[in-house]
Each structure stands twice: as C-alpha cells, then as structure tokens.
Amino acid sequence: MIGLERFELGHARGGLDLFPRDPIDEPEAFLQAMREEGVEYEVLDAAALVERWPAWHVSDEVLAIHQRDAGIVAASRANAVHRRLALARGADLLPDTRVERISPDGDGFALETATRTYRCGSLVVAADAWMNEMLAPFGMHLPLRILQEQVTYFDAADPASFDPATFPVWIWHSAPHMYGLPSFGQPGPKVAIHGGGREVTPETRTFEPDPGYAAVVEGFIREHLPGAIGPPLEVRTCLYTLTPDQDFVLDLVPGTSNASFGLGTAHGFKFASVFGRTLVELALDGASEWRIPRFAADRPSLTQPA
Ligand SMILES: Cc1cc2nc3c(=O)[nH]c(=O)nc-3n(C[C@H](O)[C@H](O)[C@H](O)COP(=O)(O)OP(=O)(O)OC[C@H]3O[C@@H](n4cnc5c(N)ncnc54)[C@H](O)[C@@H]3O)c2cc1C
C-alpha cells in the first residue's frame, strides 16, 4: 500500500479536560480511569493552566487535567484511507446509493435500492441517525435522541495562540458543555457545544445555523478564550445520535446471528477501526471479544430508559 505509512492521520499535541466549580462530570472519575489504564496525565490549577496557555481566561477554582498524548484524528483523511484499504481488499463502494429496505432473505439478507436488490450472507449496518428506520423490519426501535449540532471555525483575533503545535484540544465540563480544537484543517480554532442543539429527525434537520446556538458559543469564548473572537470562517451543522446513557452500541441485530450494527453516539469516530473489526466479527462469526454487556442493545438503559 504505497505511501500510507507516511500519510498523517493524527495529530497528538495534548488534550485538556477543564473542570470549573460544580462540573457536570467528576474529575476523579477521569483520573481513576487514566490510572487504571496507565494513561499519563498532569493535574494543573488555574494559575498553571494560564501560565502554559495564556489564551485561557478562567477563575481560580478551575482544575485542568492535561493528557500529553491526546490529539486529533484527521477525519476526512482517515475515511479516505479506510475506503482505499477496502478497495484494495476487493470491496465495491456504492456512494450515494440509498438502501430502501433491508429484509431477511433465506439465511441472509436482501437490500433493496431504487435500481436493484443486493443479496448477502452477512451484514453490518452503520446508519447512525437512520438506524431505527433501517432496522424497523427486525422489530428494533432504540430510544435515540438526534440533535442538530453546529461547529464554528473562527478567524481568531489572536491566531498564534491557537497554533496546533502548542494549543491542545479541550473539553469544558460544565454547562454549557463546550469543546474545541486548535487551528487544524481550517485557519482558525473550532468551538462547539456538546449536545447543545435542538432535537430533530433526519427529515426535519436543516443545514441552517441556529443563532441561539451561536450566541452561546460566542458568549463562552468572550469569557474564556477571548483571543478566539473573530468573524466565523465557517459554520457547519451535523447530527448527533445519542443513546440515553451516551454509551456505544455494538451488537447483533435482534433475531439474527449474522447481522451486526453499531452506534458511535457522538464520540465514536476515534474508534472507527476497532468498531469496524468488531462489527465484522459479529456478522461473520456471531461473536467478538468486544461484544461486552456495556455495549449491548438489550441493556436496561436502552430497553427501560425511564
Ligand atoms: C459535531 C460532531 C462532533 C463529533 N465529535 C467527535 C469527536 O470529537 N470524537 C469522536 O470520536 N467522535 C465525534 N463525533 C461522532 C462521530 O462523528 C460519529 O460517532 C461517527 O461519525 C459515526 O459514524 P457512523 O459511520 O456510525 O455514522 P455516520 O458517519 O453518520 O454515517 C452513517 C451513514 O449511513 C448512511 N445512510 C443512512 N441511511 C442510509 C440508507 N438508507 N441507505 C444507505 N446509506 C444510508 C448515511 O448517508 C451516512 O453516510 C462527532 C459527531 C458530530 C456530529
């Protein structure tokens, strides 16, 4: 596979988890998980945070956890590499081909499209916001919440502060639950709310930015990252598909032993490779070491969400 070994798919310059007073997530849970997994981290108080990254304006009680090895996956490059690897292994890619219906067909499945019906012996479904629609013929309906989110790239007043060589990715663990990136892939930092959008369906979503959402983002950077203020370079909308516990689903389609499905529930991109392997193992062998109860489709938080 010529060239892929030198093709940069990631950028690891560190990540910050920021915990103001009364955070919505407990820092100790993060620290415990990192200790258990042997992840290196540093705990910084507000003064140490600001000394190292002066772009941050925070009050004294903010606690920061810095992970040196955290970073960013270059998503569209990573998708392109997955496509190229699939082609090299004999896959036929059919972009822009809508599956109208999946149904059991003997020991396998039939996938109807507008022009023909495809038959297969095993199947992986990764339809995210459209998952319930795709799996309705199997009697499956998960209590998914679909939100229209919006990410903004700013033409920052102080671009040097958001240089990806020095500025880490970050998450703000309080309401509004914010996250952002340095200038990576765009000539300005990205800032968004985690789960701040209105609830939609794939049919009702629009591609129009929401001014109320933009006001929350601008209010946050005005208070905490004033160097990021500037005209938006680009505002993009996208869909978040959330399970009630915001944990993944990796399982067999109910009633089958050769069809699997997976949901990344708004934080699954970084796991795409291992999710793909797991879903293929499930579809071909009916089992995978990753088919763990935490990601099962019949766990109580999905079957009895109330
Ligand atoms: C704003 C935002 C920020 C995110 N940030 C992060 C992050 O920081 N880290 C992280 O790890 N993850 C993140 N994610 C989540 C991550 O992007 C998703 O978990 C991941 O993209 C899900 O991949 P998927 O292949 O399951 O679904 P998708 O990428 O949504 O793909 C589903 C595909 O199914 C197709 N499809 C649907 N119905 C049909 C049909 N009937 N016939 C044919 N095709 C169909 C759709 O066209 C689509 O291409 C973020 C997501 C968003 C929206």
Q: List pLDDT tens digits, range 101-122.
A: 999 999 999 999 999 999 999 9
pLDDT of the residue at 196: 95
Same structural domain, 215 and 152: yes
CB atoms inside a 10 Å sphere around CB 141: 11
Per the domain annotation, does 4 fall within a domain?
no
Cα 48 from Cα 63, distance rounded (Å): 10
Same structural domain, 179 and 223: yes
Per the domain annotation, does 268 fall within a domain?
yes
Low-confidence residues of the chain, pLDDT below 50? 1-2
Same structural domain, 123 and 149: no
Same structural domain, 250 and 298: yes
Q: For residue 143, report the phi and psi dihedrals to the nearest 5 degrees.
A: -80, 70
Query: Which atom of ligand 1 is nearest to 100's Cα?
Result: 41
CATH number at 93 reads 3.50.50.60
Per the domain annotation, does 155 fall within a domain?
yes
Q: By alpha-carbon position, which residue is closest to atom 12 of ligand 1? A: 267
Query: Which atom of ligand 1 is nearest to 236's Cα?
Result: 1
Q: By alpha-carbon position, which residue is closest to atom 22 of ligand 1? A: 264
pLDDT in tens, 248-285: 999 999 999 999 999 999 999 999 999 999 999 999 99
Counting the structural domains of the chain, the total is 2
Task: Tell me how far the alpha carbon of residue 96 lies from the centroid of ligand 1, in angstroms.
Answer: 15
- C-alpha dihedral (112, 113, 115, 116), degrees to nearest 10: -30
Beta bridge partners of 260: 124, 252
Q: By alpha-carbon position, which residue is closest to atom 41 of ligand 1? A: 99
Mutate to test the pocket of ligand 1, among 116, 130, 181, 274 (most ligand atoms within 8 A of CB): 130
Q: By alpha-carbon position, which residue is closest to atom 30 of ligand 1? A: 128
Same structural domain, 46 and 157: yes
Same structural domain, 214 and 82: no
Cα 225 from Cα 229, distance rounded (Å): 8
> Model-level pTM?
0.94
Same structural domain, 130 and 225: no
- C-alpha dihedral (146, 266, 248, 18), degrees to nearest 10: -130
Cβ atoms of 254 and 279 within 8 Å: the answer is no
Task: Tell me how far the alpha carbon of residue 261 lies from the centroid of ligand 1, in angstroms.
Answer: 13
Cα 51 from Cα 46, distance rounded (Å): 9
What is the SS3 assignment for 134?
helix
Q: By alpha-carbon position, which residue is closest to atom 16 of ligand 1? A: 269
